[in-house]
Structure 1
Amino acid sequence: MDAVLAIPNRKPAETGRVTPPAAGVLGRIGTLETRIARTATEIDAAQAVRYRVFVEEMKAEVDADSARRRRDIDRWDGICDHLLVLDTAIAGDPEDQIVGTYRLLRQDVARDHGGFYSAGEFGIDALLARHPDKNFMELGRSCVLPAYRTKRTVELLWQGNWAYALKYGVQAMFGCGSLPGVIPEEHALALSFLHHHAAVTPEWDVAARPELFRTMDLMPAEAVNARKALTVLPPLIKGYLRLGAMIGRGAVVDRAFNTTDVLVVLPITSISGRYLNYYGADAGRFAS
């Protein structure tokens, strides 16, 4: 389950560069900065932001304890790193300043703690087995509060993602991208566009689990208007495509989160050169 994010649809040269950060900070633009959560209290605050977006805004279902605590929580939270965007202009402690978050799970950590979150919906193990020499990272639970859904907020999240990937030698990223609602046919244009124009190559082939598989081939290729499809795709998925991502075979209906999910696969070697140069040039000095 991922919420509203978008990769800026412009050349990186046209955006302001991220200013040099303080120790531990992965990037800064104006009063916004991004870094990994440092304390359990900060993770709790990030879970509260996720609750506001996923449950209150997007009507996801959570268990009684999560509802009582007003937190979006699952068992992966304890093993993931939590990337934060904070607005330092907000008065109070850092926990009060969190306006966006992204959850990062490295392959070595997942292997030691029961696997990846996405494996519950997609055949991740087969993908990993095909690339035993590569280091994967899962991206998930991305969300930004409505007032901060701007290009600079997302630039900071990707600045943090890229610095983190460099630090840990990540060679491929993946994660679920979500369309609202549990009726795939309502997204026939978007899903068919992804099926016909953004499908994984054989080298990176991955599919929805057989018992959950819902076809994305809902319209013939000649009936898909690519321009219209791009206007109805969720910003997060559209942003991944701009970076050079591919989409796995088959969608999965997630009734708890009221979404239809697809799997996004992004090998580092596939990232569009203009983004690789931009984020790479800035993030290299933050990766040590």
Structure 2
Amino acid sequence: MRLDQNSFTIRIASSPEDVAGAQRLRYRVFVEEMGAHTSPEDAALRLERDAFDAHFDHLVLIDEAARPQDPLDRVVGAYRLMRSDVARAGPGFYGQSEYDLSLLLDSPRASVELGRSCVHPDYRGGMAMHLLWSAVGEYVTRNDIEILFGVASFPGANPEPLAEPLSMLWQNHLAPPDLRVRTLPQHYVEMNRIPREQIDQKRAMLAVPSLIKAYLRLGGCVGDGAYCDHEFNTVDVCLVMDTGRMQSRYRDYYGRTEGILK
């Protein structure tokens, strides 16, 4: 599908309709594509939503040229973002149900939780994700964010078939101690499952989902332990990115984007 960048608007949701558009896209991706569970009420509306939505900033990518039957379907890319000051003031981070995030909550450095990242299947493969990442970069700059983190997922809730990529991530990309969040003890799934000498590094990386690879290219690293999310039918890892440690070419690029975020 050929895309014209000028046909897109990207903004922090400014209306209930914007948020509902993000939830509609999330339903399509997480429920219809990935098999996540949802309530009968949300299934009837085709929305994927939770109580945390009220506390997040919702980044939405809108195709202004699209003319779908339902206006909610004009949202073709989405992220939700929660700053640490918002988390501390009330709900906490969404990821606290899976990970001990006290290192980040107690830090004086400003952080933001990235979650529910998704792109409509017709818009995958380049520009849409580039626009979302550029907008995240501008958001980070505007809010003086130093640490970005969020859960990213492998499809399927069984860690056994993922032993090689999980081990590779732990062995090669484990976060430094000051950023090494850990899966809660009751949910902890060992990532380091195969000795290094038995891993085919190329094959392991090919098995890593594209979003996780994008975080790694930005200089991201993984927390200690995976989490099996049976509700969403995924195995999750927590990615953490320190803007001070990001590879300079990405930091410079995303740090200088201005004007894309409405």
TM bucket, shorter chain: over 0.9
Equivalence for 1:103: 80
- Picking from 49, 64, 86, the partner of 2:62 is 86
The equivalences for 1:67-146 within 5 A come to 67-91=43-67, 95-129=72-106, 131=107, 133-146=108-121
How many pairs are equivalent? 258
In the alignment, what sits opposite 2:26? 50
Unaligned stretches of 5+ residues in structure 1: 1-27
Task: Tell me if the contact between 2:84 and 2:105 (Cα under 8 Å) persists in the aligned partners.
Answer: no
Q: Take 1:29 and 1:95, find their aligned partners in 2: how far apart are those partners?
A: 20
Contact 1:247–1:263, Cα closer than 8 Å, also in 2: yes
Q: CA deviation at 1:41?
A: 1.1
User: In 2 relative to 1, CA 127–222 (structure 1 residues): closer, same or farther, beyond 3 Å?
Assistant: farther
The alpha-carbon deviation at position 187 of structure 1 amounts to 0.4
Shift of 1:286: 6.2
Cα distance per residue 1:240-263 (max 9 Å; x no partner): 000000100000100000000010
Comparing 257-266 and 94-103, the one that deviates more: 94-103
Instruction: Normalising by structure 2, report the TM-score.
Output: 0.94
Q: What is the distance in 2 between the residues matched to 1:281 and 1:206?
A: 29
Q: 1:287 to 1:88 in 2, by over 3 A?
A: closer
1 CA distance for matches of 2:238 and 2:32? 24
Asked if 2 retains the 8 angstrom alpha-carbon contact of 1:99 and 1:145, the reply is yes
AA matched with 2:11: R
Tell me, yes or no, if the aligned pair for 1:48 and 1:72 is still in contact at 8 Å. yes
The equivalent of 2:38 in structure 1 is 62
> Could you tell me how far 1:196 is from its partner in structure 2?
0.3
How many angstroms does 1:104 deviate by? 0.5
Higher relative contact order (CA closer than 8 Å, sequence separation 6+): 1
1:137/1:173 contact within 8 Å kept: yes
